[in-house]
Chains A and B, each alone.
Chain A
Amino acid sequence: KSSVQTIGEEQIQNPYTELLVLKGHQDIVRFLVQIDDCRFASAGDDGIIFLWNAQTGEKLFELHGHTHKITAIAPFSSSGASEEKKHFILTASADKTVLVWDCTSGRQIQKVSCFHSTVKCLTVLQRLDVWLSGGSDLCVWNRKLDLLCKTSHLTDAGISALVELPKNCVAAAVGKELIIFRLIPSNDGSEGWNVLEVKRLVDHQDNILSLVSINDLTFVTGSHVGELIVWDALDWTKQASECNFWDSSVQPEIKLSQSPNETSVQHLTSDEECVFAAIGKGIHVYNLQMKRVIAWQRTAHDSSVLHIEKLPNGQLISCSEDGSVRIWELREKQQLPAEPVPTEKINCDFCQNKISFPPPPPGFFSMWGFGRANKQPNQAAKKIQENTPMYFLELVGDLIGHSSAVQMFLYFGELGLATCSADHLIILWKDGEQESRLRSLTLFQKLAQNGDLQL
């Protein structure tokens, strides 16, 4: 039996009661980026980029240009204050090119193909009006796609993540290392920049998988073995670290039975107070103030959580390889700390009587160590006594639609939620009530237009 918390068919707090399936891709869809208020782009292993209208689900453009799968995508907009804002997207592909697309016309504007390796990440520094590409080296480009400067060859594996830091600095995750670069205006004037390696941080034991900036002062990294380090963005010192996501007392045992995936920090997101980490199949909430994990859901999904995001409305959304998207809310614990049974367990017991369980993906059971399921109650009990979380994550809804791993999602606020998946589909989830209202509005507008409204 899966111990994954499930929610029944009655989901009062789940606003998504309407869905729209967007078909177009022919392979895994890995990336979704927002272009403006109502448009987004999707890209994936088929090398095609689609532009969609998030309101209607209409396919706006189908951009062909890459011959291999797309490895990175970044939107940027022209900062020309005078005219209308122009939107572009940069796409990098395994064919070792970077293309620039105009989102208005759907045309390819420029192409850079002088890379020696696949560009794995793209970052636009709006402030400096340059963009960076990270592969086996770091390149700095201006808007016109002139190569301003580049670092020496760093590693074959390449830069896996880039994040902008204050004072013209960027942090790049290269394997286990975190390298800080600084952009210095070139001496010869004009708009040239030089890039300079400032510092190398080697605190992580394993490959850094995620790197996000929390605010101007801090950023956070997570590694494959479950280390979470909070850094000072100005002097690049370690503010805090957390690697005890598993109970230390049973750790050796667990380590044996666990594959590293179980603890890898897949994705990180944060609001001002907390860092939300997708670790293995679970979600952990790390409070920056208290410098400790305040809530967790060890098995939030049936398999690895791939993407996690905190919404402005306080909800937390996670998507996973098991094909589901779940909506969580961080709640303060109401019961006394002495309460012996963890909330998740209650939920589980409660839910096991329900009719439907999402089916576990193939091979799911083999991932578990045999003794693990038996040990969990003890372990959880111990944990609670030692380090009782004051908060818990409550499952308020799940979105079932994809038949394969949900790679990523994009929150569009009013317009809903777009999810992309390995089943080649993108699903737009919408608030049915609101959509109904919008349709009524459109209806009466159209009636007025047609002049049918006169009595």
Chain B
Amino acid sequence: MISAPDVVAFTREEELEDELCSEPPLPEEYSVPLFPFASHGANPWAKVASSKFTRDFILISEFSEQVGPQPLLTVPDDAKVSGTFDLNYFSLRIMSVDYQASFVGHPPGSAYPKLNFVEDSKVVLGDSKEGAFAYVHHLTLYDLEARGFVRPFCMAYISADEHKIMQQFQELSAEFSKASECLKTGNRKAFANELEKKLKDLDYTRTVLHNETEIQKKANDKGYYTTQAIEKANELASVEKSIIEHQDLLKQIRSYPYRKLKESDFHPYEPERAPDAAGAGCERDLAASDPAEPGETHLYVPSYTPKLIKAKSAKCFDKKLKTLEELCDIYFFTQTLDQLHQIERTFRGDACYLLTEQISRALLKQQSVTNFLFEDVSFLDEKPPEKRYRGCQGRDAIDRKCLEESLAPKVVISLGSYKSSVECVPIKMEQEIEDSQEPKMTESVPFEPQENLDYLDADIKGSISSGESIEVLGTEKPASGLTKSESQASLPVSPSPQAGRSKVGSRRTVSEDSIEVLSTCPSESLIPEDFKASYPSAINEEPYADDEEGGLRFTPKLNPDRADEQEGVLNREDLAQVDSACCIGKESPSFLEPLPELGQKPCDEDGVVRIPPQPYRQAEQGLRGAFGGFSSHDGISGGLLPCEFDSRYPTGSREVSKSSLDECSDSTSYISSAASTCSDRTPSPAHPACQAGERHKKKAGQNALRFIRQYPFAHPAIYSLLSGRTLVVLGEEEAIVKKLVTALSIFVPSCGAYAKPVKHWVTSPLHVVDFQKWKLIGLQRMASPAGVNVLHALSRYSRYVSVLDADSKTLRCPLYKGTLVSRLADHRTQIKRGSTYYMHVQSVLTQLCSKAFLFTFCHHLHLPISEREPEESVVNRRMNFLKLQLGLANEDLKIVQYLAELLKLQYIQEPGRGVSPLLRFDYVPSFLYKI
């Protein structure tokens, strides 16, 4: 296979030349297809020759403990997107650069398995051979059945343009952090749920075992224990150990972001979000309240029924693995997908477009004095706060961080901290919101538990209720943290598995449907075990009902085809169909060499399994079982650990990624938590608006272009608008008038930071107040007596308005002899697209704004240099400046003068008050223009 890049590059040039010299296109046989996916409407510039995919996409992969790295889904969910790009191979690559210390488990010296709250890692990865560059965001999700309870995942933004990835690193990082937080939040809830169920199972099992033992005891009068009895006792003991372990885990997961309520009380969550969930909860309570019924392993009620399980340690991981969806709770999963789609929409396309837009927005923000005139400032204000905050702060943090780091290079935190400490685990924790910039203790200072609590508390006390208000719940110091946990853990377990839960109901203090934001923990580093254990608090959970649903999906599917069907049933439209080589991880060569047909036709016979988006189905267990014992970590370190960074940014990316690891993500976590809550509720508030704005611009630009071509008197009309003379568009048909108003609105300078002074449709007679308020008005022409009044008023106030009659195609307005507008609105313009024209207008208007700015802020043009200087000489100076320096002629002066007045008004306005609108006018004769 010819490697594409060189050929394509060459032919491209040739083609261009050919086109230049010979008019007729090349015969088909000679023309090399420039761009294999051109038919899909993608632009050829975005594609680097060597890349095998057509456009940017997001890939979610998992390092499965059973089969190793595997792709799960892509966004957008379109097979064409990834093209011939080998997702499996790339998954391997991106999963191999995980810097997270994802090992969780049973650290030596501690009694119970520990959860590791690991921070996401963010790296940039380049594969020049594949032509793929990726921003890779690693995250760890918890799964009770997984090895070490963790499932490493990663999300990658893959683009053929390495510059884009590098330039947009901050933005990508922030956006992906949001998505990651969303996933993790859902995951923690699901994990806690799972633990609870497991606990119930264990509890139930213990009761059953206990009863059996008792029966045996009674039955056995011999005074010695049978082997059977001893077995039973052992089993019972192991169940109890398991219970303690799981309780501990539950506490850990709950302690994660917690606020605590009362000192000693354990506050598990209860279902509360949906009425049916509450019902389910009751049912469950009922069902569980008589657990002592012997012999019954299955109470088949719709709510969760404790099952008899085999006593074994919590570290069992030979079970089926859950899908991502199951891991994260369907609600959060879809939220995350939405977020990812939004990311994709935001960052796709040409890097220079992205960059230009960012730069222009940043510049526009700087032009605080003039930007309100023609720009949509509300858009600047609204959308960017988040963005700006993120951008500035994040960048600051990074800069600072880089400095710091160059001085004292750091060890990758989670790894180091883990290794270094067993007994007293260092905490990396910051008071996020107030002083995120503070250099933090990374390795170091073992905090006193109390202090830790304070810190943690300071960080994590926000809980976002449905009304989006932040509840800060009272903080509390667990005075006897350790003993408490001890007592909790070793508490003689009550016969009823519901004992723990019975407390729950009375303890709810949070509003009905509040969702706890679990993502605010600044650094999800290790938390000392004692502390964690003694740090119980409530978690507001998703209803159990969700869980039940999730649970139902666990039902084994033995037929892989069925799994596909189920996918359809589940309606997971967002999920991509991805291919996975089943043989992955066998030998390194085998996965370094991608199968040629991989992207195209996955089929079972070829040893390629088509897996549904839900990564682990029961159905595949069999297939994967073979590799069950394979250590994925070994595979990675053996095969691909020396990851390739982009050669151009070797240290940079490392530093950035590392610093982002601690600093950036930290400093942004506040934002991301805020943002994630919005995105939890209403998916992507900023972007649709922005896109609507784009659409509007496009439409307005198109209409304006049409207006300019259609009406020879477009110039005086536009001049009217620019010079602040109200233009009334008069017409019978609302649609036509509104269209014209929309078209012309792009020329209307705003008077303040509010909406443009444009009124699309008025049916009543106009008044002088209207001219003060509106600069562009659509007016209805009626034949009725009321219509006569309308016209009467219009003629009365004719000195304040220009009238564009849409019906008779006439314009009555002052003469315009300037040159400015002709540049703005050339009817012979070659511009064809509305958005292009809009941009053209914006650029000319921006130029105009800068002139107005210069004019406004030149002291001597408005005020005398010396006290004795007569007013006339100031006027002369002013006129000279306008004419000679700014090169304005005739009526153009008035445009700049009007804009200057607006600038002055805006600048001198009192902070509390808006600009008082005033009507400026000239006593100039009007003329009637006809087509």
Contact call A21/B923, Cβ cutoff below 8 A: no
Contact call A400/B769, Cβ cutoff below 8 A: no
Looking at the complex, which one of A14, A18, A58, A442 makes contact with B908 (CB distance below 8 Å)? A442
Contact call B925/A9, Cβ cutoff below 8 A: yes
Contact call A57/B862, Cβ cutoff below 8 A: no
| Distance between Cα atoms of A444 and B904 in the complex (Å) | 10
- By a CB distance below 8 angstroms, the chain A residues around B769 are 21, 23, 425
Contact call B916/A356, Cβ cutoff below 8 A: no
Stretch at the interface among A26-34, A38-46, A74-82, A432-440: A432-440
| Distance between Cα atoms of A8 and B904 in the complex (Å) | 31
Given contacts A9-B926, A439-B908, A443-B856, contact A19 B768 (CB under 8 A): yes
| Distance between Cα atoms of A401 and B918 in the complex (Å) | 13
Of the candidates B856, B918, B920, B921, the one having the most CB atoms from chain A within 10 angstroms of its own CB is B918
Contact call B908/A9, Cβ cutoff below 8 A: no
Shortest Cβ distance from residue B720 to the other chain A in the assembled complex, whole angstroms: 14
Contact call A440/B796, Cβ cutoff below 8 A: no
| Distance between Cα atoms of A436 and B898 in the complex (Å) | 10
Contact call B863/A440, Cβ cutoff below 8 A: yes
- By a CB distance below 8 angstroms, the chain A residues around B921 are 17-19, 432
Query: What is the chain B residue whose CB lies nearest that of A439?
Result: B904
Task: Tell whether A446 is near chain B: CB-to-CB under 8 Å.
Answer: yes
| Distance between Cα atoms of A21 and B921 in the complex (Å) | 14
Task: Tell whether B859 is near chain A: CB-to-CB under 8 Å.
Answer: yes
- By a CB distance below 8 angstroms, the chain B residues around A358 are 796
Tell me the chain A residues, 1-23 only, with Cβ under 8 Å from chain B.
8-12, 14, 17-21, 23
Contact call B918/A356, Cβ cutoff below 8 A: no
Given contacts A10-B924, A18-B919, A21-B768, contact A359 B796 (CB under 8 A): yes
Looking at the complex, which one of A12, A57, A356 makes contact with B799 (CB distance below 8 Å)? A356
Task: Tell whether A54 is near chain B: CB-to-CB under 8 Å.
Answer: no
Shortest Cβ distance from residue B402 to the other chain A in the assembled complex, whole angstroms: 33
Shortest Cβ distance from residue A90 to the other chain B in the assembled complex, whole angstroms: 30
Contact call B923/A11, Cβ cutoff below 8 A: yes
Shortest Cβ distance from residue A409 to the other chain B in the assembled complex, whole angstroms: 15
Contact call B862/A403, Cβ cutoff below 8 A: no
Contact call B795/A356, Cβ cutoff below 8 A: yes
Taken residue by residue from 58 to 94, chain A's Cβ proximity to chain B (1 for < 8 Å, 0 otherwise) reads as: 1000000000000000000000000000000000000
Contact call A9/B919, Cβ cutoff below 8 A: no
Task: Tell whether A397 is near chain B: CB-to-CB under 8 Å.
Answer: yes
Taken residue by residue from 825 to 868, chain B's Cβ proximity to chain A (1 for < 8 Å, 0 otherwise) reads as: 00000000000000000000000000000001101001100000
Taken residue by residue from 404 to 427, chain A's Cβ proximity to chain B (1 for < 8 Å, 0 otherwise) reads as: 000000000000000000000101
Contact call B925/A400, Cβ cutoff below 8 A: no
| Distance between Cα atoms of A356 and B794 in the complex (Å) | 10
Task: Tell whether A355 is near chain B: CB-to-CB under 8 Å.
Answer: yes
Tell me the chain B residues, 876-931 only, with Cβ under 8 Å from chain A.
897, 901, 904-905, 907-908, 916, 918-926
Task: Tell whether A441 is near chain B: CB-to-CB under 8 Å.
Answer: yes
Tell me the chain B residues, 761-776 only, with Cβ under 8 Å from chain A.
767-769, 772
Contact call A401/B768, Cβ cutoff below 8 A: yes
Shortest Cβ distance from residue A42 to the other chain B in the assembled complex, whole angstroms: 17
Given contacts A17-B923, A440-B904, contact A57 B916 (CB under 8 A): yes
- By a CB distance below 8 angstroms, the chain B residues around A401 are 768
Task: Tell whether B487 is near chain A: CB-to-CB under 8 Å.
Answer: no
Task: Tell whether A248 is near chain B: CB-to-CB under 8 Å.
Answer: no
Given contacts A440-B904, A443-B904, A446-B908, contact A355 B926 (CB under 8 A): yes
- By a CB distance below 8 angstroms, the chain A residues around B856 are 440, 443
- By a CB distance below 8 angstroms, the chain B residues around A356 are 795-796, 798-799
Task: Tell whether B792 is near chain A: CB-to-CB under 8 Å.
Answer: yes
Query: What is the chain B residue whose CB lies nearest that of A428?
Result: B918
- By a CB distance below 8 angstroms, the chain A residues around B857 are 443, 447
- By a CB distance below 8 angstroms, the chain B residues around A14 are 923
Given contacts A23-B769, A443-B904, contact A9 B859 (CB under 8 A): no
Given contacts A23-B769, A446-B907, contact A17 B798 (CB under 8 A): no
Task: Tell whether B797 is near chain A: CB-to-CB under 8 Å.
Answer: yes
- By a CB distance below 8 angstroms, the chain A residues around B768 are 19, 21, 400-403, 425, 427
Contact call A12/B923, Cβ cutoff below 8 A: yes
Taken residue by residue from 400 to 412, chain B's Cβ proximity to chain A (1 for < 8 Å, 0 otherwise) reads as: 0000000000000
Given contacts A400-B799, A427-B768, A440-B862, contact A17 B905 (CB under 8 A): no
Task: Tell whether B504 is near chain A: CB-to-CB under 8 Å.
Answer: no
Contact call B798/A432, Cβ cutoff below 8 A: no
Contact call A359/B792, Cβ cutoff below 8 A: yes
The total of chain A residues at the interface (CB under 8 A) is 38
- By a CB distance below 8 angstroms, the chain B residues around A446 are 907-908
Task: Tell whether B583 is near chain A: CB-to-CB under 8 Å.
Answer: no
- By a CB distance below 8 angstroms, the chain B residues around A400 are 768, 796-797, 799
| Distance between Cα atoms of A58 and B797 in the complex (Å) | 25
Shortest Cβ distance from residue B791 to the other chain A in the assembled complex, whole angstroms: 10
Shortest Cβ distance from residue A162 to the other chain B in the assembled complex, whole angstroms: 35
| Distance between Cα atoms of A56 and B917 in the complex (Å) | 11
Contact call B796/A9, Cβ cutoff below 8 A: no
| Distance between Cα atoms of A427 and B769 in the complex (Å) | 10
Task: Tell whether B229 is near chain A: CB-to-CB under 8 Å.
Answer: no
Task: Tell whether B793 is near chain A: CB-to-CB under 8 Å.
Answer: yes
- By a CB distance below 8 angstroms, the chain B residues around A17 are 920-923
Given contacts A20-B919, A440-B863, A446-B907, contact A10 B796 (CB under 8 A): no
| Distance between Cα atoms of A284 and B644 in the complex (Å) | 98
- By a CB distance below 8 angstroms, the chain B residues around A439 are 901, 904-905, 908
| Distance between Cα atoms of A444 and B768 in the complex (Å) | 31
| Distance between Cα atoms of A357 and B901 in the complex (Å) | 30
- By a CB distance below 8 angstroms, the chain A residues around B908 are 439, 442-443, 446
Query: What is the chain B residue whose CB lies nearest that of A57?
Result: B916
- By a CB distance below 8 angstroms, the chain A residues around B796 are 356, 358-359, 400, 403
Query: What is the chain A residue whose CB lies nearest that of B903?
Result: A443
| Distance between Cα atoms of A397 and B797 in the complex (Å) | 15
| Distance between Cα atoms of A397 and B799 in the complex (Å) | 12
Query: What is the chain A residue whose CB lies nearest that of B770?
Result: A21
Contact call A18/B918, Cβ cutoff below 8 A: yes
- By a CB distance below 8 angstroms, the chain B residues around A444 are 859, 862-863
Query: What is the chain A residue whose CB lies nearest that of B927?
Result: A355
Shortest Cβ distance from residue A102 to the other chain B in the assembled complex, whole angstroms: 24
Looking at the complex, which one of A11, A21, A359 makes contact with B795 (CB distance below 8 Å)? A359
- By a CB distance below 8 angstroms, the chain B residues around A355 are 798, 926
Shortest Cβ distance from residue B765 to the other chain A in the assembled complex, whole angstroms: 8
- By a CB distance below 8 angstroms, the chain A residues around B925 are 8-10
Shortest Cβ distance from residue B896 to the other chain A in the assembled complex, whole angstroms: 12
Query: What is the chain A residue whose CB lies nearest that of B921?
Result: A17
| Distance between Cα atoms of A427 and B797 in the complex (Å) | 14
| Distance between Cα atoms of A355 and B897 in the complex (Å) | 27
- By a CB distance below 8 angstroms, the chain A residues around B793 are 403
| Distance between Cα atoms of A441 and B908 in the complex (Å) | 10
Shortest Cβ distance from residue B906 to the other chain A in the assembled complex, whole angstroms: 10
Contact call A436/B901, Cβ cutoff below 8 A: yes
- By a CB distance below 8 angstroms, the chain A residues around B919 are 18-21
Tell me the chain B residues, 633-659 only, with Cβ under 8 Å from chain A.
none
| Distance between Cα atoms of A436 and B862 in the complex (Å) | 9
Of the candidates A57, A401, A402, A442, the one having the most CB atoms from chain B within 10 angstroms of its own CB is A401
- By a CB distance below 8 angstroms, the chain A residues around B924 are 9-10
| Distance between Cα atoms of A356 and B927 in the complex (Å) | 12
| Distance between Cα atoms of A401 and B793 in the complex (Å) | 10
Q: Which 10 A-B pairs have the closest CB atoms?
A: A440-B862, A11-B923, A439-B904, A401-B768, A442-B908, A9-B925, A356-B798, A18-B920, A19-B919, A20-B918
Subset of 23 A-B contacts with CB under 8 Å: A9-B798, A9-B924, A9-B925, A10-B924, A10-B925, A11-B923, A17-B921, A18-B918, A19-B768, A19-B919, A21-B769, A56-B916, A355-B798, A355-B926, A359-B796, A400-B768, A400-B796, A403-B767, A436-B897, A439-B901, A443-B857, A443-B862, A444-B859
Known pairs A18-B920, A402-B768, A403-B793. 9 more at Cβ < 8 A?
A10-B923, A17-B921, A359-B795, A359-B796, A400-B797, A432-B920, A439-B904, A439-B908, A444-B863
